Amino acid sequence: MAEDIGFGRLPHGAKILWESVGHSRTFSLGFFFATGSRFDPPGKAGTAHLVEHLVFKGTTNHSAVSLARLVDRVGGDLNAWTDREELAFTCTVPAESWKVAVEALTELCLHPTFPENEFLHEKEVIRNEILSSLEDPEELSYDHFLQTLSPGDWSRPVAGTEESLADITLEEARAWWAEYGTLDRLTVSFSGGVDPEKIRQALAERLNGIVLPEKKQTAAIPSNFFPSSQRWIQKADFQMIQILGGFSFPVPISARAAAIWQIFSMLWGETMSSRLFQSIREQRGLCYSVTSQVFDSVGTWGLQFFATCAPENTTPLLTALAFEIDRLVSDPPTDEEWDNARSALLGGVILAAEKMENRVGRLWKQFDTYGSALGVEATLNVLSVPVSIQERNLIFESLAKSVPSLLVWGKIPRRFTLPKPWML
């Protein structure tokens, strides 16, 4: 079977994407709902994440144990996660056992029972997860960074807090899923060595007869989570200093435009040979970790940067960061830097393509962002073209229009003030 990519419709407004890979002996199926913690009710942060856990606790036709055995006995993997605007369930199995993945995910997502006897147990599991996150300064500081930039529903912790989790009732969890876990929000994505028509037919049979509740209006998404020219210096109990910053830039209108930003982030901070890593960590030894990443969400994109350092290194590290931002104009990345970063991204796509679950996630991400999805070969073709001078200039023009916001959080040294390059 040749590599093939396609799009279709399922009953009740659900969408379906596929990438059949004839040489693969594995099959991965993903159910992606266009919802997440951003849609948690006021004062009930963590509802979406709690629902993600509860659907695993039993369905109309399976107990939690029998569902786990269904997947385990074929060596499969069942996974799920909650993000701010995404609720995802995936199952990867040997290709010959594709029916197991279809049964597992349709049971989980279409027929969960939310058993009352499991409710308090699962809340305690999540409470431990929340407490564990409080021991991770980098995770904690990132959540705090987003909340500082954009207070409100979007930036609340995905798992909620101990207090908000305690306040969620079983009835509220069931009501949330009835409202947001609907088929009109669902995109099914699959990849592997299985005939796509077999999967579509099997899914259509299982989705027929599902009754959709009346769709409710949801709040508008804010247009920008990275306000320019903001500076925050805040104390925290942990010993190290967390430095987080971000530029905003226009939402890319194509896969190529998004790829250029990703290439830029890799040459600037994401790889071991990147400018930030080599200059700030390797040459100056100012920190253990420093990196950058492209952030994307509905309505806004941005380039973020992060570093962790000892309190006494705060000022020199901030000065070095400012220098590296200025150097993008005074000493722009060379052809070799751009080509090396592009080559690294190409290699990453090839390596990721060996795992069907990575293909499933890529299909969904591209479709959710652009309304269409590319196969691996098409994605590689997008990346095979060198970055032009015009494309580079668009990057630098966007950065020049966005003064980065900055959060310095941790054990702030006495009489600390921002070094001159960061003062407004």
pLDDT score recorded for residue 364? 92
- pTM of the full structure: 0.91
The count of other CB atoms within 10 Å of the CB of residue 65 is 10
The encoded tokens of residue 82 equal 């909650």
- Per-chain mean pLDDT for the chain: 90
State percent of the chain over pLDDT 70. Answer: 94
Looking at the predicted structure, is the pLDDT value of residue 46 above 60?
A: yes
pLDDT score recorded for residue 250? 83
pLDDT score recorded for residue 1? 40
In eight-state DSSP terms, residue 292 is E
SS3 content of the chain, % helix, strand, coil (to 5): 50, 20, 30
* Long-range contacts, stretch 324-328, CB < 8 angstroms, 24+ apart: 324/268, 324/275, 324/276, 324/279, 324/280, 325/404, 326/421, 327/275, 328/268, 328/396, 328/399
pLDDT score recorded for residue 101? 97
Q: What is the pLDDT of residues 287-325, one digit of tens each?
A: 999 999 998 876 778 899 999 999 999 999 999 999 999
Q: Tell me which fold the domain 231-422 belongs to.
A: Cytochrome Bc1 Complex; Chain A, domain 1 (3.30.830)
The count of other CB atoms within 10 Å of the CB of residue 412 is 15
Question: For residues 340 and 345, what is the distance between their CA atoms, to the nearest angstrom?
Answer: 9
pLDDT score recorded for residue 253? 83
Q: Tell me which fold the domain 4-207 belongs to.
A: Cytochrome Bc1 Complex; Chain A, domain 1 (3.30.830)
Is 278 buried (19+), middle (13-18) or exposed (0-12) by CB count in 10 A?
A: middle
Residue type, 414: R
Looking at the predicted structure, is the pLDDT value of residue 57 above 50?
A: yes
| Comma-separated ranges of CATH 3.30.830.10 domains in the chain | 4-207, 231-422
Looking at the predicted structure, is the pLDDT value of residue 372 above 90?
A: no
- Three-class DSSP category at 287: coil
Nearest in space to 402 (alpha carbons), one of 225, 228, 250, 223 = 228
Higher pLDDT, 245 or 402: 245
When pLDDT is averaged across residues 207-226 and rounded to a whole number, the result is 60
Looking at the predicted structure, is the pLDDT value of residue 138 above 90?
A: no
In eight-state DSSP terms, residue 212 is P
Identify whether the C-beta of residue 395 lies closer than 8 Å to the C-beta of residue 261: yes
The encoded tokens of residue 194 equal 């299985």
* Long-range contacts, stretch 414-418, CB < 8 angstroms, 24+ apart: 416/233, 416/314, 416/315, 418/231, 418/233, 418/318
pLDDT score recorded for residue 402? 85
In eight-state DSSP terms, residue 312 is G
- Three-class DSSP category at 92: strand
Identify whether the C-beta of residue 365 lies closer than 8 Å to the C-beta of residue 25: no
Identify whether the C-beta of residue 271 lies closer than 8 Å to the C-beta of residue 344: yes
